[in-house]
Chains A and B, each alone.
Chain A
Amino acid sequence: GAVVSQHPSWVICKSGTSVKIECRSLDFQATTMFWYRQFPKQSLMLMATSNEGSKATYEQGVEKDKFLINHASLTLSTLTVTSAHPEDSSFYICSAKPLGSLNSPLHFGNGTRLTVT
């Protein structure tokens, strides 16, 4: 149980275009999902916390107008990278917290490799 599905697993796009990444909790509901970014040989850095039915909370230094987050249901959050540039190329990973759990492990998707050319 507690499977998080992320789609697509990889995407290549041209500079200036937008890319949408989906994160779904398949067998549980999640009021809170998290979006991380990971550069090669580095740790996961939290970008934003996605809350179902309300605005996302962004970490310092993350542009909310560039990384649009929508969490319209208890099983789906999307991250849209708008006007992507080569420096946005990274590994984006989402995670979800089951409804009603506080101190319990986050379940992670398998990530999306974004390459902007």
Chain B
Amino acid sequence: GESVGLHLPTLSVQEGDNSIINCAYSNSASDYFIWYKQESGKGPQFIIDIRSNMDKRQGQRVTVLLNKTVKHLSLQIAATQPGDSAVYFCAENWAGSYQLTFGKGTKLSVIP
């Protein structure tokens, strides 16, 4: 299930199940979105990105969905594995800016 802690929402899933991590972004002018995975004590690692002219993009075991109407982004991980346990951040960028704005993050815990 999903719970909201003091700072970081947590999602617990059983190994082998699919995971869905959600993100609400803030700027309607954002046109580029990225999902990052951050393991403990490490920097963010690129997972998948999507541009605003698309609503879905698939990678290996991951799918990103973009709903611009409600400014919502989701990351789906198929057949979740223990190695997927980490904190996942969405990030948004808008045209002409080099900066990324990060969402609050979701901690994914995979139960073996």
Residues in chain A within 8 A of chain B (CB atoms): 4, 6, 32, 34, 40-46, 49, 93, 95, 97, 102-103, 105-111, 113
Task: Give the number of A-B contacts (CB < 8 Å).
Answer: 59
Majority-rule SS of B interface residues: loop
Please classify how large the interface on chain B is, using the bins under 10, 10 to 19, 20 to 34, 35 or more: 20 to 34
Report Cα–Cα, A6/B99, bound state, in Å.
19
Q: Tell me which residues from 11 to 64 in chain B have a Cβ below 8 Å from any Cβ of chain A.
A: 31-32, 34, 36, 41-46, 49, 51
Q: How far is the CA of A111 from the CA of B99 in the complex (A)?
A: 18
**B: which residues have CB within 8 A of A?**
5-8, 31-32, 34, 36, 41-46, 49, 51, 89, 93, 95, 98-105
A4's nearest neighbour on chain B, judged by CB, is: B43
B49 engages A42 (CB within 8 Å): no
Q: A43-B89, A46-B99 are in contact. Are A111 and B43 (CB under 8 A)?
A: yes
Specify which of A32, A42, A43, A106 lies most central, judged by the most chain B CB atoms within 10 Å of its CB: A43
- With A34-B99, A43-B103 already in contact, the answer to whether A107 and B46 are too (CB < 8 A) is yes
